[in-house]
Amino acid sequence: MYHHIKKLMYTVKVDSPDPRFGNMLLEQFGGANGELAAAMQYSIQGLNCEDPQRKDLLMDIGTEELSHLEVVGTLARMHLKPMKQQQNGAEVDPLIAIAGGGGVSLFNSMGDAWTADYLKITGELDVDLRSNIAAEARAKIVYERLINQCDDPGSKDALQFLMTREITHMKAFTLALESLGKNQFSIGKIEPTPGLVDEYFNDSTGEGDEGEKDATGPWNSGGHWKIVETRELQQGVENLESSGGRKRGKEQEKLRKTA
Amino acid sequence: MYHHIKKLMYTVKVDSPDPRFGNMLLEQFGGANGELAAAMQYSIQGLNCEDPQRKDLLMDIGTEELSHLEVVGTLARMHLKPMKQQQNGAEVDPLIAIAGGGGVSLFNSMGDAWTADYLKITGELDVDLRSNIAAEARAKIVYERLINQCDDPGSKDALQFLMTREITHMKAFTLALESLGKNQFSIGKIEPTPGLVDEYFNDSTGEGDEGEKDATGPWNSGGHWKIVETRELQQGVENLESSGGRKRGKEQEKLRKTA
Amino acid sequence: MYHHIKKLMYTVKVDSPDPRFGNMLLEQFGGANGELAAAMQYSIQGLNCEDPQRKDLLMDIGTEELSHLEVVGTLARMHLKPMKQQQNGAEVDPLIAIAGGGGVSLFNSMGDAWTADYLKITGELDVDLRSNIAAEARAKIVYERLINQCDDPGSKDALQFLMTREITHMKAFTLALESLGKNQFSIGKIEPTPGLVDEYFNDSTGEGDEGEKDATGPWNSGGHWKIVETRELQQGVENLESSGGRKRGKEQEKLRKTA
Amino acid sequence: MYHHIKKLMYTVKVDSPDPRFGNMLLEQFGGANGELAAAMQYSIQGLNCEDPQRKDLLMDIGTEELSHLEVVGTLARMHLKPMKQQQNGAEVDPLIAIAGGGGVSLFNSMGDAWTADYLKITGELDVDLRSNIAAEARAKIVYERLINQCDDPGSKDALQFLMTREITHMKAFTLALESLGKNQFSIGKIEPTPGLVDEYFNDSTGEGDEGEKDATGPWNSGGHWKIVETRELQQGVENLESSGGRKRGKEQEKLRKTA
Amino acid sequence: MYHHIKKLMYTVKVDSPDPRFGNMLLEQFGGANGELAAAMQYSIQGLNCEDPQRKDLLMDIGTEELSHLEVVGTLARMHLKPMKQQQNGAEVDPLIAIAGGGGVSLFNSMGDAWTADYLKITGELDVDLRSNIAAEARAKIVYERLINQCDDPGSKDALQFLMTREITHMKAFTLALESLGKNQFSIGKIEPTPGLVDEYFNDSTGEGDEGEKDATGPWNSGGHWKIVETRELQQGVENLESSGGRKRGKEQEKLRKTA
Amino acid sequence: MYHHIKKLMYTVKVDSPDPRFGNMLLEQFGGANGELAAAMQYSIQGLNCEDPQRKDLLMDIGTEELSHLEVVGTLARMHLKPMKQQQNGAEVDPLIAIAGGGGVSLFNSMGDAWTADYLKITGELDVDLRSNIAAEARAKIVYERLINQCDDPGSKDALQFLMTREITHMKAFTLALESLGKNQFSIGKIEPTPGLVDEYFNDSTGEGDEGEKDATGPWNSGGHWKIVETRELQQGVENLESSGGRKRGKEQEKLRKTA
């Protein structure tokens, strides 16, 4: 059950309303990485969750994001309100000015309606937590960019509050994931095919227009990594085909570096 | 520049075509966590990337996902092809049977057209890598569920191949992120507000219908965590308001546990 | 600020889970007239509202709808949960079964992602209240149809609770509109053109395949109504054109009945 | 069967084309409350309608809205046509200028493609009429705002014509609804639960940042209204739970005011 | 201006209603190649068209498609009407049965809302005519598939009528394009680069799983065609780069066959 | 299987980055007629194609369009990159500037996410080829308009390259269609109804505001064409109805001209 308290989680003050900035703020109201997306992603994961501990976590943060939605919506509205009266306001965002009367609605900064396609919900707790960690990282960087575009001190304060909370949530989700005690690369129950799982396919080759070359790093060399070249991969498949096999064989792998 | 080789990355064999299963497979062809989503997310991140090492990684895996798209599409088509002729096929998925002639198209298992709203691209490399790790975890679990729904050995083999590769990619993205050497919770350049960043807001309270209670875990207790109760939070805001302050104050925090 | 209480607004009990019915229930979770649509429409209207009395009404009901979202989601999940394990579950809704692990997500009964295009928010209070009255009427009829499709007593009880509340809200919005004291047909500030406003254009004519004919009723006869025939309308426009006028003239109106 | 007459329902004249205003006009061409939405909503309701009298009404107005679509499209095109040639035109709306050659297409003022998600069609006549009354009110206010943004006399004339007709339609739908002779709050056939239907849940409480308090009005006091406080509601549910009941009980209601 | 005649363009008779087939029919009501798509594409092209002759053609056919929309909608409704009462109806399409009361709405066979993204409108007459020819070919094949899925004689008759008209329109658009007297491959005003325009890039190479090989045909051999191999293309670009040139050179072309 | 070569198909050079133009360029990156749409349409048609010759053609061109996607994305990014830093950049396109960090993503020039609803795939080879011819014509004209909006020589060069290739593809698809040897107006297997197929319905009549009249041309006169007037069509249907017939009869046709 939800309860609304007639008080913003962070009081908002705007000294100089700027419809252009208000329009940008909508990215965090009805945008892909905005507060409704966060609120819905966590709350619905929580509704589906069967781990009572982490269900509480999901509901706590899901609810906090609803309060953030209210803060960022109020902030955007303060910047957008003049749009109804002024012609230059209507130029900035006719959808808000003409159809919305200068009020906010669930659109992003380009006037795209919010869609649940933004959400990542799988019903697999550790997978959902990974999606949430990434979501918080995205929300943080978007708030940072908004702060960099903003001159109004009151708006900056509110955005700093909201941005900070994303890091809080990112920490909480990370610790909740780690405390599940699962192997970092173990997802679900079916094991990946040994050998194949350590092959790195070098599918982009040659030298780029700005001198880019094939790179190596911990993601494809050292440890168990084996780099497989596209041509060899193709050749290997052909060999296998002609000998009646259906699976990719060991002979098609080519070790390049294992440093 | 791209080059296509007339050979599947994994040869597909279907013994008993099953339109219902073919329809489910579309989830990984044109669905939210499917192969086109992966291919586009990584390739476009790669196009935007200014770190030549990880740009190569993004292009390698983005290209591999295009090859996966071809594999899963071929597999789905083998299961769906009978749809054009048979009436029960048309019942399973009229969109594929009637409008598509039994061929695949960029829809998910419910006939929703693929949309770029599925993608998570921010232009901030470490953030994008986190989105990719989560994306691979989601793709893995979806493949696992498809394998569990499938009776056809040839289809299972191909799905096992594809599922394995998602773990490979998840590893690679994780190692690429770690090798950036950034603090785990440091996103962008603006620092979160100290103190506030360690507050855990207890926004969901009471006892649930099935006995759920407030939970504690590493995500809200121990370390620097301070649990802030909603009521106190509200009260604190009210106090601050009446004393003219605009920011949330220290006095509104209530330490519950710090183990 | 929002607060979540770990207790459903209406306790849900399901005796015999039915994935097909669970799938239908999603229409009120993530569908066009469902609970998220109601919650967002009223809450955002409330955020934009400058009439403190009715702002409170909008926030009260908007918040209640969030609690309904939780109830209907829990109910749907109870019916859908078996989907993950059973193959016939996956046939009912592969999106929920395969991609969602049997949990709910913000889709309607056909697997379409929820979109803010469902919302009607104009920032003009009396107009918004009219949209809300219609929205509640729609939600009521959808719940009634769900009850008619349902055999499970526990599910029927919960749906009866939710259906009743829609009538409550419909009443409240109606009384809030009436208490504004505005003329029923006075919207905004610019007056409609006298005369023209009372013309009823008879744009569909002839006799239908099942004997339909032009009908008269209080909506086009009696009072100030004048029925204008398409042919005359066209003729009138032509006459006006040839005489240099730009506006529609009085002579093109033809009184048919004024009972 | 439809017939097109090569004559606009209202002749359009534009003295000074203004691409920015043309772009705003698209809101009524391909926008959520625009003319295609109206035409399709009423015509398809008419196609489904089994009341021959009101079916005629729906077809009459549905057809008139198609004629309005043509008028507003022609008006928008006159303002947008210069976009193809001029660079500043392309800045206003590259979608129209670059992809559309300066012609109109079914987009709103922000370039979002028209979607049938805008429509409200339930197949329940009195419910559909309520949706139409609200739709006309929205369309009226959008035309009023467009008039307020417009300096061109010819455009203002055409918009005044279109705006007036929305009031005409609003009247007609209202009278058609009233003449059905149904109780104002009786929707469908299943009765709401007595008692519960008169409870007003006070779900938003406290005092707001700008002094907002709980409000009372005809929508929650007087008549049969009983105000139920969230806390009591929660408490009541808890009590019921512990005593084995499943339904909300009378004791959880708290009368606050009944003026 | 539009006028509606209360008579279907083709009288519809259904002997045995079949909700499953009714659901398939929606593909031509609210689907990507359906009648609304056709009506809107041609009518809006007509609204934008400055060639009075072909503008008339576009309006004639655009209007006819509106009449088709009514025919196919009526036919679908006859098949879908039982859905409201019967549970198996609701299984076929809950969106129509539960939310729509068994009436049609602007959805395709999978319940996706119609979107203007289906339309192809460029404001360049000859280009638009090409889009229309293709659109008619698609609509024809979809009607043919529906006929093949249908057992009801009355429905087959109506579909044969509708299917025939698509061929009529395809002819008309083709003749309208040819009578413009433009060179078949001349689009717009800027000439393609000579030489480059006759190069065929062989971007898919090798031998496929089912023995597919590089193919030649009139589309890449004979006439002025030159086949350019990817590897050579790449090599050529590299050579050019190292010699400071920015454009692709003649030396990178390799003639393979010109039969 | 796909392979990526770290070299653009056409090297891109931008002298003066212009975020406004970069924004327009997105129309060909993630827009309705852009490179991803082309790549996916042809590649998936190819995946479904059972004619090995033309399957190769579809894969060749589908792959080339992927390479074009990379070129146009790189070009757009060069123009958009400054957006992250500059406030005027954020005004041009906040979605790219704020959410995307100045990088490209799969949006069109108005910030709409790419959707598979843009694609035309039927699984009927000759129909698909017609869709492709039209798609190439549209892509050509969009590139031409971009060239006309562009001052930067390097950008113009790259756009000329891309524009030229569209004509190449249009030729190839046309020749592939012609070489199928099918009758130009024969689609699928079911024959259209003789007689009816040659009737041209004159559904738009009268004289327009700018003097438009009914037009004749090769699309409705000469050959086998018979022009049928709407009124007569209606009358004929009525006559047939009263005489029990269900099909449209010969007597309802009215020959107007056959030149």
Structure-derived torsion over alpha carbons of residues D91, D97, D98, D103, reported in degrees to the nearest 10: 170
Residue pLDDT, tens place only, B174-203: 999 999 999 999 999 999 999 999 999 999
Q: Which of B66-75, E63-72, E239-248 has the lowest mean pLDDT?
A: E239-248
Question: What is the predicted pLDDT for the residue at B210?
Answer: 77
Cα separation of E217 and E225, whole Å? Answer: 10
pLDDT of residue D46: 97
Q: Quick check: F217 pLDDT over 60?
A: yes
Q: What is the pLDDT of residues B197-246, one digit of tens each?
A: 999 999 999 888 778 899 999 999 999 999 998 767 666 555 544 444 33
- Asked if residue C193 has pLDDT above 50, the reply is yes
Assess B93–E contact: CB distance below 8 Å, yes or no.
yes
Instruction: State the Cα–Cα distance between residues A194 and A197, nearest whole angstrom.
Output: 6
Residues D28-70 pLDDT 10s: 999 999 999 999 999 999 999 999 999 999 999 999 999 999 9
Q: How confident is the model at residue F246 (pLDDT cuts 50, 70, 90)?
A: very low
Residue F126 at interface with chain E, using a CB cutoff of 8 Å: yes
Which residue among B6, B84, B87 places its CB closest to the CB of E207? B6
Q: F190 and E10 in contact by Cβ < 8 A?
A: no
CA dihedral angle for residue F213, residue F219, residue F224, residue F230, rounded to 10 degrees: -40
Lowest mean pLDDT among A72-86, B83-97, C152-166, D220-234: B83-97
The pLDDT score that the predictor gives to residue D234 is 65
- CA dist A17 and B18 (Å) reads 60
Work out the burial of residue F248: count CB atoms within 10 Å of its CB; fewer than 13 is exposed, 13-18 middle, 19 or more buried: buried
DSSP code per residue over C215-233: ---TTTSSTT-EEEEHHHH
Residues of E in contact with C145 (CB under 8 A): 84, 97-99, 101
Beta-carbon separation of B241 and D206 below 8 A: no
8 Å CB contact of E115 and D119 = no
Give the nearest partner residue to C48 out of A7, A104, A114, using CB atoms. Answer: A104
Q: Average pLDDT, stretch A31-39? A: 98
Residue to mutate among B171, B231, B232, B237, with most A CBs inside 10 A, is B171
Q: Would you state the structure tokens that stand for residue C210, as one six-digit string?
A: 């099942």
Contact B97 E27 (CB under 8 A): no
Per-residue buried b or exposed e for B153-171, using 16+ beta carbons within 10 Å of the residue's own CB: ebbebbbbbbbbbbbbbbb
The tally of CA atoms less than 13 A away on the side-chain side of residue F119 is: 29
CB-nearest partner of D23 from A2, A8, A94 = A94
d(Cα F159, Cα F167) in Å, to the nearest integer?
13
Residue C231 has pLDDT above 90, yes or no: no
> Range with the lowest mean pLDDT among C34-43, C94-103, F162-171?
C94-103
Q: pLDDT-derived band of residue C84, with 50, 70 and 90 as boundaries?
A: low
**Rounded CA separation C90/E32 (Å):** 26
pLDDT of E33 strictly over 60: yes
What's the mean pLDDT when you consider all of chain B? 89
Decide if pLDDT at F247 tops 90: no
In percent, how much of chain C has pLDDT > 70? Answer: 87
Nearest to B7 among F1, F63, F119 (CB): F1
Q: What is the mean pLDDT of residues F184-199?
A: 96
DSSP A217-252: STTTSSTT-EEEEHHHHHHHHHHHHHTT--SPPGGG
- Model confidence over A210-243: pLDDT tens digits? 788 999 999 999 999 999 987 666 665 555 445 4
Does D110 reach chain F within 8 Å, measured CB to CB? yes
pLDDT of amino acid B85: 66
| Closest CA–CA distance from residue D116 to any residue of chain E (Å) | 5
Predicted confidence (pLDDT) at residue C240 exceeds the cutoff of 70: no
Which C residues, 9 through 68, put their C-beta within 8 Å of a C-beta on chain A? 9, 30, 36, 40, 44-45, 47-48, 56, 59-60, 62-63, 66-67
Q: What is the tens place of the pLDDT at every residue in B26-44?
A: 999 999 999 999 999 999 9
Query: Are C99 and B32 in contact (CB < 8 Å)?
Result: yes
When CB atoms are compared, the residue of B27, B203, B204 closest to C95 is B27
Question: pTM score, two decimals?
Answer: 0.93
- C239-253, E51-65, F70-84: which has the minimum mean pLDDT? C239-253
F-chain residue closest to A209, CA distance: F7
* pLDDT score at A89: 73
Query: In terms of pLDDT, which residue wins out, D233 or E53?
Result: E53
Per-residue pLDDT for F233 more than 80? no
Question: Is residue B106 within 8 Å of residue B150, measured between CB atoms?
Answer: no
Which of the four pLDDT bands, split at 50, 70 and 90, describes residue C82? confident
Rounded CA separation C143/F247 (Å): 42
Closest CA to A118 of C52, B115, E157, C177: B115
- In DSSP terms, B198 is beta-bridged to none
CB contact under 8 A, B131 and A122: no
Q: What is the pLDDT of residue B253?
A: 37
Taking only the tens place, the pLDDT of each residue in C205-224 is 988 877 889 999 999 999 99
Lowest mean pLDDT among A7-11, C36-40, D250-254: D250-254
Compute the average pLDDT of residues C20-39.
Answer: 97
The whole-angstrom distance between B206's CA and the closest CA on chain D is: 10
- Better-scored residue on pLDDT, F88 or E200: E200
Q: Which chain C residue shows the shortest CA-CA distance from F242?
A: C209
User: Which residues of C are less than 8 Å from B20 in CB distance?
Assistant: 90-91
CA C148 to chain centre: 20
Of D109, D208, D233, Cβ closest to residue A98: D109
Confidence band, pLDDT 50/70/90 cuts, at residue F55: very high
Asked if C116 contacts A107 with a C-beta cutoff of 8 angstroms, the reply is yes
Q: Is the confidence at residue E160, as pLDDT, over 80?
A: yes
Are the Cβ atoms of E48 and D104 closer than 8 angstroms? Answer: yes
pLDDT: which is higher, E107 or E249: E107
Q: Residue range D175-189: average pLDDT?
A: 96
**Closest chain A residue by Cα to residue F2:** A203
Instruction: Compute how many other C-beta atoms are within 10 angstroms of the C-beta atom of residue E223.
Output: 13
Instruction: Count other Cβ atoms within 10 Å, centred on residue F246.
Output: 14
Give the pLDDT confidence score for residue E91 in this predicted structure: 79
For position D32, what pLDDT does the model report? Answer: 98
Flag if E97 and C145 touch (Cβ within 8 Å). yes
Q: How confident is the model at residue F230 (pLDDT cuts 50, 70, 90)?
A: confident
Q: What is the tens place of the pLDDT at every residue in B93-102?
A: 899 999 999 9
What are phi and psi for residue B193, nearest 5 degrees? -70, 120
Q: How far apart are CA B56 and CA E110, in angstroms?
A: 40
Cβ of C186: how many Cβ atoms within 10 Å?
12
Q: How confident is the model at residue D149 (pLDDT cuts 50, 70, 90)?
A: very high
E103-158 pLDDT, tens per residue?
999 999 999 999 999 999 999 999 999 999 999 999 999 999 999 999 999 999 99
Tell me what the pLDDT averaged over chain E comes to.
89
* Pairwise CB contact (< 8 Å): A209 & E241: yes
Q: What is the pLDDT of residues E12-26, one digit of tens each?
A: 999 999 999 999 999
Does A133 or C235 have the greater pLDDT score?
A133
Half-sphere exposure (Cβ direction) of B9: Cα atoms closer than 13 Å: 27
Cα torsion angle, D250, D251, D256, D257, sign: positive
Tell me if F52 sits within 8 A of F135, measured CB to CB.
no
Per-residue pLDDT, A240 = 46
Amino acid at F118: Y
